[in-house]
Structure 1
Amino acid sequence: MRTTVLAVAMVMACLAAAHEDVRPQRDFNLQRFAGRWYRVGLAYASEKFAPFRDKLKASMGVVTALPDGNVNLTMYDATPLGCLVKVYHYQKTNVPGQFTYFSTRHNLVKDMTVVETNYTDYALVVKHKVFNREYTQVALYGRSTAVRTSVLDRFRSFALSQGFPRDSILTPPPAENCPPSESGL
């Protein structure tokens, strides 16, 4: 038991230290970042999430840049209950590529940073929050449901550098009919 507690503490310390090194994409351009993205990779080490890892599907989101520099993100997630739609409102910060948003699920403000993107193929995004303990998540987004092997390797390498164990780094299969094909998206 003591060994497990020590191991968890070490991972959390690594994640906390790694988060301090997270920097947004240099010269981030929100207009170029806007549009359709698929979450094709996820690194998340939460024990509560572990039982759901094999059920995860690649979700789709639409990023809409607002005139004031804020962002709306409409996410389509395939679940056992069907295709669920969630809208997130991201507030710009004084650093381009970094945003905050209010999580109704956790009733607190979280950070989101676009760490790296080429705008046309992929984006690496880090979400971070602190409550009870520190939580970090790394996501790989692609403009399509398939990304190059070199991009997947970059995502895995980045997640490992942030302290995530290999078994918490996922590349879920595409969701079927989510959003529904008749939605026009």
Structure 2
Amino acid sequence: MTFPLTLLGALLCSLMVSSEVVPQADIDVQRMTGKWYLLGFATNAEWFVNRRASMKAGTAMLTVTADGELELSYTSLNSDGSCWRLNNVAKKTDVPGKFTYTSLGEMKDMCMVDVKYDEYALIHTMKSKGSNATVVNKLYGRAVDLSADLLEKFRQFSLETGILPENIAFLPKNAECQAA
């Protein structure tokens, strides 16, 4: 009986920590536009345990629409040479730097936590599907390499949002998908 209670306590703690995450105060979403490399990935999702070893860096193209929404286009080259692609439109909220979107049947609340527009972006997402909630943190870079300090910053942030150390990954470099 203690294991389920411990698990429930850890989940509630994770949700409480994640609900306190706020976007960067002076966020300028227009400056987020362009190409980013997904270099760090951290989550409390169960599927990650089985897929972590096969994940590699990918690219994201972010475009701000005329009405302030954010178009997200992700690609990653698979080991067989095919490309994995995912496109979403994140709707702006009343809070600058916070967006919501639905992907793969899950409602997602995305928060731009820490951004240096020409170098890196740390983005926190809460996913919910039914009564399940999942934390996903992503570290993006404008280049394929980031400093050890930034990697450590991402690791610390992920731990603070309830991610176990073994669920924090720095993705190996990968060739890019060709334009579709």
The normalised TM-score by structure 2 is 0.92
Q: How does 1:130-149 map to 2 (within 5 A)?
A: 130=128, 131-149=130-148
Give a deviation string over 1:107-129, Cα, whole Å, max 9, x none: 24211110111111111101112
Alignment-mate amino acid for residue 92 of structure 1: K
Cα 1:4/1:146, change in 2 over 3 Å: farther
5+ residue gaps, structure 1: none
Alignment-mate amino acid for residue 166 of structure 1: P
Question: Matched residue pairs, number?
Answer: 178
Secondary structure of 1:49's aligned partner: helix
> In the alignment, is the contact (CA less than 8 A) between 2:57 and 2:174 conserved in 1?
yes
> In the alignment, is the contact (CA less than 8 A) between 2:42 and 2:169 conserved in 1?
yes
Which residue does the alignment assign to 1:114?
112
Query: Sequence identity of aligned pairs in percent?
Result: 30
Query: Is structure 2 residue 45 aligned with structure 1 residue 56?
Result: no
**In 2: Cα distance, 1:16 partner to 1:179 partner:** 35
Secondary structure of 2:21's aligned partner: coil
Give a deviation string over 1:3-32, Cα, whole Å, max 9, x none: 442342232112111112100011110111
Q: How does 1:39-50 map to 2 (within 5 A)?
A: 39-50=38-49
Which residue does the alignment assign to 1:101?
101
**In 1: Cα distance, 2:9 partner to 2:37 partner:** 32
Q: How does 1:4-43 map to 2 (within 5 A)?
A: 4-43=3-42
**In 2: Cα distance, 1:149 partner to 1:95 partner:** 31
**In 1: Cα distance, 2:49 partner to 2:2 partner:** 20
Alignment-mate amino acid for residue 75 of structure 1: Y
Give a deviation string over 1:10-63, Cα, whole Å, max 9, x none: 321121111121000111101111111111001112222211100001110000
**In 1: Cα distance, 2:3 partner to 2:45 partner:** 15
**In 1: Cα distance, 2:164 partner to 2:121 partner:** 21
Query: Over aligned residue pairs, what C-alpha RMSD do you find?
Result: 1.6
Which residue does the alignment assign to 2:166?
167
- Offset at residue 69 of structure 1 (A): 0.3
The normalised TM-score by structure 1 is 0.90
**In 1: Cα distance, 2:48 partner to 2:3 partner:** 18
Which residue does the alignment assign to 1:88?
88
